[in-house]
Structure 1
């Protein structure tokens, strides 16, 4: 134990470690700022490097055990503005017109009403500002896990003479590790700002209020490589984005459910401490390439557990259902566009492969936000639409328990059977209710359960029952039960007497005749009746 510190957990140890790290970051230590930037996979230009060092020093000086996510925001905004274009008046006119037509077309393709909030046209920096809170929410569990593991590994591997300092300054190390992770996230989100074309492009609702948004600069760059009329591309993208917005606006539970599922998965991710310790033992300040590759490849994150694999299947299914529904309704709504199929295929290929920034985020948090079964989900929604129509299809989004599952993606016919079966049962119940109500209105005694061929106990009313089934059911009720038959006669007589008191002799005769017919048709009836 080092005797230089009376209280190894006090402020002196934190101050000494801060001074040590500040010296390192200013170039006075063994690791140069250039090596640190290379290890983090960040740009090496002097301006960016200077900002990196300043932000890290701020994080160290102000460390309170948490993660300073403002570092991520600053990194992302700086990267987004490097090649940003402002939204022009011509672009606003184009997309305002596209959104108006898209809303009308969607009215015919979905059962969800339009939002009262107008869609937005965003610059890259505005998209970063609007989406960063969600990115932080998705990334925080992994950042905390890595920071805690880094603190432990450094504490365990520190030289004997520095262990008191390290042990007493855990929150400073944790803050520095969190700042490095936040910088990585900022770089990823900043790169994504140059790739996404709309608010729903990633497949999750990044914008908190759920309204539609398009990035005109990126949309123009996307369309430039398709050799198609830009007005058709604008209209297709507008329909697709409004479809996302309507879905998340109607299914209020969906956004929270998705984000909760992702964060729960991320919270279960554990750091590969063996790999982290191996890198710490072999770390060469003059060659940080091995560390950079470990961070970029995601090798510092352990393989998924069985529980995580199950959760991942459920999450990927939900992501596929969202994108598959959007694909299906967009195809229906844009059927008037001559080249809609070509645009749709380009978007599907783009989502299937993912861009470099999306891959970087997957390595950073150990999760790909990519629906692997997009085509299966789109085919399922088309089959459901053909079988039960738009209203019932969209009604499945009313609750998570109503949605199709992974098995339904394998075989949509099972889901179709369930949906059409439910329809038949409801129709039969409605018909039975109408029949009973009609008898009451005519003044007749309503049929008891099972009469007129309707067995309510254990029998499928959709199939119906023939005359033999009626006779058998009546025989079971009447055989050996003279008392019950007498009560039935008394009930019929009571109904006739009531009609007599009303002065309707014709109705009494008709009612008596109906009573005699029922008794005559019953095999177990008493012949004396």
Structure 2
């Protein structure tokens, strides 16, 4: 809310301070503050007289924003800061205690022992951790920035184009031309660069909002089917695990153990199939780069708002600015991505259930609760769907679970797990409808490969390698 100006017509203290600091550019810098979501007149709030230190801190924040180039189309600092704020505003997020940490690590250690009997994939060399929501944000924000960067570039370019047209008539901004702002490396910033950085900041704020909301919902680092932490860490978010357990009529230690088991199973999968994480991220990137912005919707919406207000720009970006129609290439990529996510979730579901069955009395109820939770999705998932035009949800996870369970029953644990040895061996979307056909086709492929190997080995042992007396090939195609 804007502060009420002095009734006697005197110049407010904050405005005088701006004039002292910025001289002839004071009005322009005030506009930059407002564009960054800061109302300089309301900075004192209800605390009484103007606090110069507070104002200077706000100005430093704006100068940092103006000086931050965002080559990926999003301001990563804004994403991180907003994510931390959103996660903190959701409720208490205490530092993980030593006792809680020991409990989580113990659950992971038990999970590794149980998984040895349920999968042929070896344990991953990882560090087991117990995190607060804030720690989860810090550990995963880089991945979210990378996943959204392709769309951010397209959105920022579209915003710059539309805002450049709309802001031609905005008082206090364009009349100044290049702005001379203290704190910038070269001392000036052009309106075009300002708009580009404004767009990057707004998109970064959107990414931060969604990431912060996710931080209040996730259990670990693999909930969305993509390992959000690159490296050797797996973790549980203690506050979220405890909240989930409170809503169930199941012992909290059993709930924690089951969630640790799922996280450890996913870690084994991505460790045993080192190509998998890069494969999924590449599919997300390929899909995102084909996203089209609905320019008409964007233009008509921007006309109805104040284009220097980041909050209003955020609402525009949350209202659906992506073209509904998808290209054939995008549809094909989306099908491959959804299938990959389903196969990951299906394998984790099947293996963790098999591992838990002898140990957890409530495994059936816990498994069903996770399935329902996954199917329903949450507000954070919907936010990201709006943000990048993509739902990171394994739509056909149940069918994928059935495929892995059938393959395990027919060919054993090793036969099931060796499918992950190469992307060419993976089931495709049609195989989820007919898993038996996939098994038959895979058996035929393996049999054919073995027959070729036997023939080549026989030729080697008999000396009949297709070579003439002088050691040259007798195959006409080699001549």
Smaller-chain TM-score bracket: 0.7 to 0.9
| Greater RCO (CA < 8 Å, at least 6 residues apart) | 2
Give the SS at the match of 1:119.
strand
> How far is 1:148 from its partner?
1.0
> What TM-score do the two structures reach when normalised by structure 2?
0.77
Instruction: Summarize the alignment of residues 204-243 of structure 1 with structure 2, pairs less than 5 Å apart.
Output: 204-243=226-265
What is the distance in 1 between the residues matched to 2:206 and 2:315? 13
> How far is 1:59 from its partner?
5.0
Match of 2:334 in 1: 312
Q: Contact conserved, 2:203 with 2:314, CA < 8 A, in 1?
A: no
Match of 1:61 in 2: 66
Is 1:101 paired with 2:110? yes
Instruction: Summarize the alignment of residues 379-528 of structure 1 with structure 2, pairs less than 5 Å apart.
Output: 379-422=402-445, 424=447
356-365 or 149-158, which deviates more: 149-158
Is 1:23 paired with 2:25? no
Between Structure 1 and Structure 2, the one with more helix by share is 1
Is 1:87 paired with 2:96? yes
Q: Contact conserved, 2:202 with 2:314, CA < 8 A, in 1?
A: no
Q: Contact conserved, 2:261 with 2:352, CA < 8 A, in 1?
A: yes
Q: Deviations along 1:283-328, whole A, 9 cap, x unmatched?
A: 3689999866542232355542222111111111101111011011
Q: Contact conserved, 2:219 with 2:237, CA < 8 A, in 1?
A: yes
Aligned partner of 1:72 among 79, 99, 118:
79
Q: Deviations along 1:197-230, whole A, 9 cap, x unmatched?
A: 1111121110111532111221111111111012
Q: Contact conserved, 2:37 with 2:309, CA < 8 A, in 1?
A: no
Q: Deviations along 1:406-440, whole A, 9 cap, x unmatched?
A: 01011111111123334555777899999999xx9
> What TM-score do the two structures reach when normalised by structure 1?
0.70
Q: Contact conserved, 1:210 with 1:249, CA < 8 A, in 2?
A: no
Is 1:199 paired with 2:221? yes
Q: Which has the larger radius of gyration?
A: 1
The two structures, once aligned, show a CA RMSD in angstroms of: 3.7
283-292 or 199-208, which deviates more: 283-292
Match of 1:341 in 2: 364
Give the number of aligned pairs: 415
Distance 1:410 1:163, change over 3 A: farther
Aligned partner of 2:138 among 124, 129, 140:
129
Aligned partner of 1:153 among 128, 137, 162:
162
Match of 2:346 in 1: 324
Q: Contact conserved, 2:295 with 2:321, CA < 8 A, in 1?
A: no
Q: Contact conserved, 1:197 with 1:218, CA < 8 A, in 2?
A: yes
Give the SS at the match of 2:256.
helix
What is the distance in 1 between the residues matched to 2:383 and 2:57? 19
What is the distance in 2 between the residues matched to 1:182 and 1:286? 16
What is the distance in 1 between the residues matched to 2:281 and 2:385? 15
> How far is 1:154 from its partner?
2.2
